[in-house]
Amino acid sequence: MEKKNLKKRRKRSAEDWVVDGFAYGFALLLMISIILPFMQVLTISVSPASVVNANGFHLFPKELDFSGYKIIAEDENFWHSYLVTIARTVIGAVSGVLVTVMTAYPLAKTNLPYRRGLMMFVVFTMYFSGGMIPKYLVIRELGLTNNFLVYILPCLITGFALIITRNFFMGIPEALEESAKIDGASNWTVLFKIYMPLSKPVLATIALWYSVDHWNAWMDNMLYVTKESLYVLQYVLQTILNNGQGNPEEMVEVIVHTETAKMAALVLALIPIVCTYPFLQKYFVKGMIVGSVKG
């Protein structure tokens, strides 16, 4: 009987095949749209300038030339900004996850006073903000201009990450916390020794979000920072890609880069995130699903 039931379950209707075909086709097109530009960037970065100028778009290198990487390797501004961005990403992601967890833990408690009002305030910040000028005035009055902390404090926590984490915490059985408190555990002990070890999927998810946000950020550099020693990678990368365009006095002081050097800089800027994602990917889907469906 069980074998017959399994055979019946394996039969697929025409509608199932159509839906699967559409899903796989869409996924294939999406994959191609991502891979082709990346291959183009990688190919140009290892091709001589004469080949790039003669052939234009091509997916595979006809000649190998690493002079572009050599030019970038000699650019001190690029590597200094690389270190600044690494420091920003690590500090920003760790502090962001820590603050998010400490905020989500009390909001996950149904007996917290004014809990609904606090959550409405969090949701409100996701849709409305004071605007660029009021934010600049606040940051200036706080003394954060030309300060490394301007990269960390204004974006210490995001509403969406907080909601996902809070929903995940609500799915953890209350009996675990009650039994721990009977044994004399404090709220801090419950949070760091029970909730956090059980929350690896959602912690990995929000850590990836914070890391990518910090790694790709450059607008705050443009608005609040004028000291070259605090320039982040994406801002320097933008000036490298725009090298030779606009007013040179308004850009970072960099050497003139060829197209191959510009693409080499792009490839080098992608490496850390590309290498980090596979280690967090196994937690990402679970953290998103569980954290988004709880009440």
pLDDT tens per residue across span 209-223: 899 999 999 999 999
123/160 Cα distance (integer angstroms) = 8
pLDDT in tens, 230-251: 999 999 888 887 764 434 444 4
Contacts of 201 (CB under 8 A, 6+ apart): 168, 283, 284, 286, 287, 290, 291
Tell which residue, 92, 94, 137, 134, has the closest CA to residue 232: 92
Question: If 0-12 CB within 10 Å is exposed, 13-18 middle and 19+ buried, where does residue 108 land?
Answer: buried
Dihedral sign (CA 98, 104, 106, 108): negative
**Between 1.10.10.10, 2.60.40.1220, 3.10.20.30, 1.10.3720.10, what CATH number should domain 69-293 receive?**
1.10.3720.10
Can you give the pLDDT at residue 25? 93
CB 155 within 8 A of CB 211: no
Please report which confidence band the pLDDT of residue 279 belongs to, taking 50, 70 and 90 as the band edges: confident
Rounded to two decimals, what is the model's pTM? Answer: 0.79
70/274 Cα distance (integer angstroms) = 22
92/80 Cα distance (integer angstroms) = 18
Long-range Cβ contact pairs of 193-197 (< 8 A, separation 24 or more):
195/101, 195/105, 195/169, 196/101
145-166 as b/e: b if 16+ CB within 10 A = eebbebbbeeeebbeebbbbbb
pLDDT in tens, 68-100: 888 888 888 889 999 999 999 999 999 999 999
Largest Cα–Cα distance in the chain? 80
Please report which confidence band the pLDDT of residue 295 belongs to, taking 50, 70 and 90 as the band edges: very low
Backbone angles phi, psi at 6, to 5 degrees: -65, -40
Contacts of 138 (CB under 8 A, 6+ apart): 130
Q: Where in the chain is the domain with CATH 1.10.3720.10?
A: 69-293
Tell which residue, 31, 44, 28, has the closest CA to residue 258: 44
Inform me whether the pLDDT recorded for 277 exceeds 80: no
18: its two tokens: 């159509």
CB 144 within 8 A of CB 153: yes
DSSP 139-177: HHHTT-TT-GGGGTGGGS--HHHHHHHHHHHHTS-HHHH
Inform me whether the pLDDT recorded for 22 exceeds 70: yes
Contacts of 236 (CB under 8 A, 6+ apart): 77, 78, 81, 252, 254
Average pLDDT, the chain: 82
Helices 233-241, 76-107: axis angle to 10 degrees equals 140
